[in-house]
């Protein structure tokens, strides 16, 4: 029997992308930022700067932004899509009993999350299987959970982790049980200049 595992969803985690000292410096800079506000994608005691006009949190950390962009470049080359460029970045800060509702990023091609502050009680990062509803609609009846039929995958997050993923995949969290879980999120859109300058 030949088996072909088709149509992968390319999610990447780079552990220790930034070290703890840099993460702590960024955390101390952002934790009391008064531009963060409530948002309907996060329930409970949580805030975000995603509604700020032209959010560009990473511009405050140019080396981190440059390193993330380099990682995105490697990602897009690996998965075979056109080059992308970071277009926005913001941070979410969550306290106990808050939850990031599953959502997508329609403005991006590649999105990501850089974990700045978290511990073992922090909400994991959840990715939803984009084929799950279709499988159930077609009565593909699972008898035990496997990588082919599971509804979602939850990653435990650690300080300094960088996640990259397609912007179209639903992602969010489970209930958070820690104080000041802080994540910088961002979108990268297709870089039209590079596409025009380097047509395939």
Euclidean distance between CA atoms 25 and 32, whole angstroms: 13
- pLDDT at position 194: 67
Q: Does residue 53 have a pLDDT over 80?
A: no
- pLDDT at position 48: 93
Beta-carbon contacts of 20 under 8 Å, excluding residues fewer than 6 positions away, are 159, 160
Euclidean distance between CA atoms 175 and 98, whole angstroms: 6
Mean pLDDT of the chain: 92
Sign of CA dihedral 41, 47, 51, 57: negative
Domain residue extents for the chain:
12-183
- pLDDT at position 193: 73
Beta-carbon contacts of 94 under 8 Å, excluding residues fewer than 6 positions away, are 42, 44, 45, 46, 100, 123, 173, 176, 178, 180, 181, 182
Tell me, what DSSP letter sits at residue 45? Answer: S
Q: How many CB atoms lie within 10 A of CB 79?
A: 14
Domain range 12-183, CATH architecture: Sandwich (2.60)
């Amino acid at each position: 029997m030949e088996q072909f595992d088709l149509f992968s969803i390319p999610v990447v985690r780079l552990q220790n992308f930034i070290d703890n000292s840099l993460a702590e410096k960024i955390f101390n800079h952002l934790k009391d930022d008064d531009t963060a506000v409530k948002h309907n994608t996060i329930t409970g005691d949580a805030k975000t700067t995603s509604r700020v006009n032209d959010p560009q949190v990473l511009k405050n950390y140019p080396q981190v932004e440059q390193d993330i962009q380099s990682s995105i470049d490697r990602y897009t080359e690996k998965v075979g899509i056109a080059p992308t460029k970071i277009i926005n970045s913001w941070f979410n800060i969550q306290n106990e009993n808050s939850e990031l509702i599953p959502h997508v990023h329609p403005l991006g091609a590649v999105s990501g999350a850089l974990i700045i502050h978290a511990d073992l009680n922090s909400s994991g990062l959840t990715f939803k299987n984009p084929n799950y509803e279709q499988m159930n609609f077609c009565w593909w009846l699972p008898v035990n959970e496997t990588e082919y039929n599971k509804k979602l995958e939850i990653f435990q997050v650690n300080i300094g982790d960088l996640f990259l993923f397609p912007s179209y995949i639903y992602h969010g969290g489970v209930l958070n049980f820690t104080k000041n879980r802080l994540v910088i999120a961002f979108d990268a859109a297709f870089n039209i200049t590079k596409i025009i300058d380097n047509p395939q």
